[in-house]
Amino acid sequence: MFHRDRSGAGDPARPRLGSSTTGTRTRAVMSIGIVLGLGAVGTLAAWTDSATATSSKFSAGSILLNVNGKHEASTMTSLAMVAMKPGDSVAGMLPVENKGTVAFRYTATVTTSADSVLAPNLKVAAYRSAAVANSVLAAGKICTGTLIDPAVNLAPSPTSRTMISTPRPLAVAASENICIQVTLDSSTVKPVAQGKSATVNFLFTANNP
Q: How confident is the model at residue 38 (pLDDT cuts 50, 70, 90)?
A: very low
Question: How far is residue 84's CA from residue 192's CA, in Å, rounded to a whole number?
Answer: 14
Cβ(175)–Cβ(94) under 8 Å? Answer: no
Rounded Cα distance, 107 and 167, in Å = 5
Task: Say whether pTM exceeds 0.75.
Answer: no
Confidence band, pLDDT 50/70/90 cuts, at residue 37: very low
Residue 22 pLDDT exceeds 80: no
CA end-to-end span of the chain: 123
Radius of gyration of the chain (CA): 47
Distance of alpha carbon 19 from alpha carbon 63, whole angstroms: 91
Among the residue ranges 56-60, 69-73, 171-175, 189-193, the one predicted with the least confidence is 56-60
Q: Average the pLDDT over 83-106 and give the result.
A: 91
pLDDT score recorded for residue 133: 73
d(CA 195, CA 208): 43
pLDDT band per the 50, 70, 90 thresholds, residue 162: very high
Q: How confident is the model at residue 150 (pLDDT cuts 50, 70, 90)?
A: very high
Q: Which residues contact 144 (CB under 8 A, 6 or more apart)?
A: 127, 129, 130, 131, 132, 133, 179
